[in-house]
């Protein structure tokens, strides 16, 4: 059992440079991927804001020109009911 540990240690020591290089490569790829993702999100948000500022929505412009309908509601029955409750 002890000899197996020694053999594993020697094998790891022989490949230590390769293992460290692989770990560095993976870490660098993760950093680059995160930076690309962050850049894409910031670019998308900036482009969206720019587009919304430079291209006004047509629906808003049309609504300001059109008259909105008005409605009236007869609430006399409700007022009578509420007035009767306050007396009790």
pTM, entire model: 0.50
Annotated domain spans of the chain: 2-87
**pLDDT given at position 63:** 53
For the residues 16-45, what does the mean pLDDT come to? 96
Q: Residue 49 and residue 60: Cα distance in Å, rounded?
A: 17
**Using alpha carbons only, what angle is made at residue 86 by residues 84 and 88, rounded to the nearest 5 degrees?**
80
**pLDDT given at position 24:** 96
Tokens matching residue 74: 């007869």
Residue 66 pLDDT exceeds 90? no
Q: 28 pLDDT band (50/70/90 cuts)?
A: very high
């Amino acid at each position: 059992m002890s000899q197996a540990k020694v053999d594993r240690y020697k094998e790891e020591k022989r490949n230590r440079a390769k293992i460290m290089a692989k770990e560095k490569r993976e870490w660098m790829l993760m950093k680059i991927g995160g930076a690309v993702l962050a850049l894409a999100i910031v670019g998308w948000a900036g482009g969206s804001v720019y587009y919304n500022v430079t291209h006004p929505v047509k629906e808003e412009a049309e609504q300001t020109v059109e008259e909105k309908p008005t409605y009236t509601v007869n609430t006399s029955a409700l007022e009578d009911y509420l007035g009767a409750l306050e007396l009790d």
